[in-house]
Amino acid sequence: MPRIVSVGKALPPFKLTQEEIRQFVSALFKDSDMEVERLLDVFANAEIKERYFSVPIEWYQKERSFQEKNETYVRSATELSVAAIKDCLRGTNTGVTDIDYIIFVSTTGLATPSIDARLINILKFRPDIRRTPVWGLGCAGGAAGLSQAYHYLLGHPRERVLLVAVELCGLTFQQNDFSKSNFVATALFGEGAAAVLMTGDDSGADGPEILGTSSTFWPDSLDIMGWNVLNSGMQVIFNRNIPNLVEKHARDNFAALLARYDMQLENIKHLIIHPGGIKVIEAYKRSLGLSNGQMDTARRILRDYGNMSSVSVLFVLAEYLEAKHVRAGDHGLISALGPGFCAENLLIQF
């Protein structure tokens, strides 16, 4: 079966504590009609310590055009992707000319030619490399990218695939959006990039095997999360019912995938789940009946980086690849939710 060989990470240069962001938002929104003092509790309740951004905090004091935000996105997304790829391939026996296919995932900016085309030029990938840019999957994009690579490698067992995900959520901030969704997003989202090297059966590489995948789409749920695209950029759609949906559907959603392999949730040692927010993490714990620390890694990634959309689940995966408590033969579930409303799941064996 296709394997996950290595995960690389990269972070933008500006690290801000949650308290620094809280103070900035308090000052920025003080003259609005919002109940700012009451809403500021969301910063503490998010249980996030710090986050990373592509621009300094002063950049947000001025309203920016969509063009300016997107130009910053293209520049920073390219730089972070290069760094994540180099980190991913470091220590492996794979160079950029060994990569047969690159999948690029992002939902926080636009580029044509796409960012992957820029990466091919900068890092000197082979001119016959295949590439697929994926846009619009939001937080589900990292898991969906792994799934796409898996299905490709089933038919191309000698090849190597590089998945690259980058999200610059901070650049979507709307200075004049006084909605609660914008306020919550300001307390939650961060930026980062990740790259994953995957290989087929005949590559001889080591790493967790992907045994199978599943995609689930819930009809009539388009308003749960996503973007409104405005003249000033992307305005976040963030429904408060997300934790309720997780609590209602997570167990059955996982069970449906596991049943195909005659497995149950009790057989899963490791939950590699996108940490959408602290309420989402708690909803998973209630739905799955967890009391054994299986969500601790996801919680730690949220604490240290915030919600990096498609990138977060790959940061969680990187932690598990290095974890000393993971044993050969253990089974794990990779999962993330995204706009649609949808879930992307993968069953793996270490």
Give the pair of three-digit tokens for residue 328: 């050969």
3-state secondary structure 294-343: CCHHHHHHHHHHCECHHHHHHHHHHHHHHCCCCCCCCEEEEEEEECCCEE
> What type of residue is 344?
E
Q: Are 108 and 149 in contact (CB under 8 A)?
A: no
What span, in angstroms and rounded, lies between the C-alpha atoms of 188 and 339?
A: 17
d(C-alpha 46, C-alpha 236), whole Å: 17
Per DSSP, the residues of 36-93 read HHHHTHHHHHTT--EEEESS-GGGGGS---HHHHHHHHHHHHHHHHHHHHHHHHTTSS
Strand partners, 213: 346
Dihedral of alpha carbons 147, 225, 218, 260, sign: positive
Determine contact, residues 9/164, Cβ cutoff 8 Å: no
Is 342 part of the annotated catalytic residue set? Answer: no
- Looking up tokens 């960012």 gives 115
Backbone dihedral angles phi then psi of residue 15, each to the nearest 5 degrees: -95, 130
Region of 188 on the Ramachandran plot (φ > 0 left; ψ -120 to 50 alpha; else beta): alpha
Catalytic residue among 88, 139, 169, 342: 139
Q: Which residues are catalytic?
A: 139
